[in-house]
Amino acid sequence: MPGDILDNKGRGEASWSWPPIHREARLFAGIGALACLLAALMTWETIAWPLGLLTICIAAFFRDPRRTTPRDDRFIVAPADGLVTLIQQVPPPRELTFDDGSGAPVLTSEPVTRVSIFMSVFDVHINRAPIGGTVRKVIYIPGKFLNADLDKASEDNERQHILIERGDGLAICLTQIAGLVARRIVPFIKPGDIVAAGQRVGLIRFGSRVDVYLPKGTSPRVLMGQKIVAGETVLAELGVDEMIEGVAQ
């Protein structure tokens, strides 16, 4: 059950189960299922079968599997399933580097490490909080729909910044970025909400990317080209800045 405590000593129960489908699928899967039913009733089998397959694919896209999140204040967990395609030293988003009078924390413009996670249409698209804390800002920015795998997508594409602050003042920004196919960013949270690490914070429909800006002096524990899992993969450990190498094989 969600909220169960598990550990590396054998405590807890683990079993495989079909992942539930998020409620955001109802409209899209419902339209597909209705079209499939109508085609079947009209005996248009050549159309009904593809529509049935499309309905299944839509439901699979909105799957929302249970995740087991490591509980440690030193850990920043991955906010998205997907492939690590960029690790760069860049300034934080400019929208978060000035005081808007809300009392929310302000990030400095000094470059930090940004980890970009590309989500294909085959990945789970539910995004999760990298740390626990209070949601201080949710900033939506209209933009283009370029390939989300491109570096300039962070500045040009439609995107949404989420700033989460812990009780000790640590603030982490994640940015949901729409892509070529993705046309809708759906938030589950709003400013003032309190979230736990690994908690669901939103989704992006049909292919996209998520950027995470790590604190100064913290380097990622993931590698370029690594496949990671939202809410489970430890993206970084606070204060640990070291080189990690891997081998593609």
DSSP reduced 3-state for 233: coil
β-bridge mates for residue 77, sequence order = 234
Cα 208 to Cα 178: distance, rounded to the nearest angstrom = 5
Cα 142 to Cα 238: distance, rounded to the nearest angstrom = 32
Active site positions, annotated: 208
Per-residue DSSP letter, 95: G
Sheet holding 112-119, edge to edge: 194-195, 133-141, 159-165, 171-178, 208-213, 112-119, 82-90, 227-228
The region that residue 12 occupies, defined by phi over 0 for left and psi between -120 and 50 for alpha, beta otherwise, is: left
Residue 174 contacts by C-beta under 8 Å, 6 or more apart in sequence?
Answer: 79, 127, 129, 130, 161, 162, 164, 201, 210, 211, 212, 213
Cα 5 to Cα 212: distance, rounded to the nearest angstrom = 27
Task: Tell me the two tokens of residue 219.
Answer: 């380097």
Residues found in the chain: 249
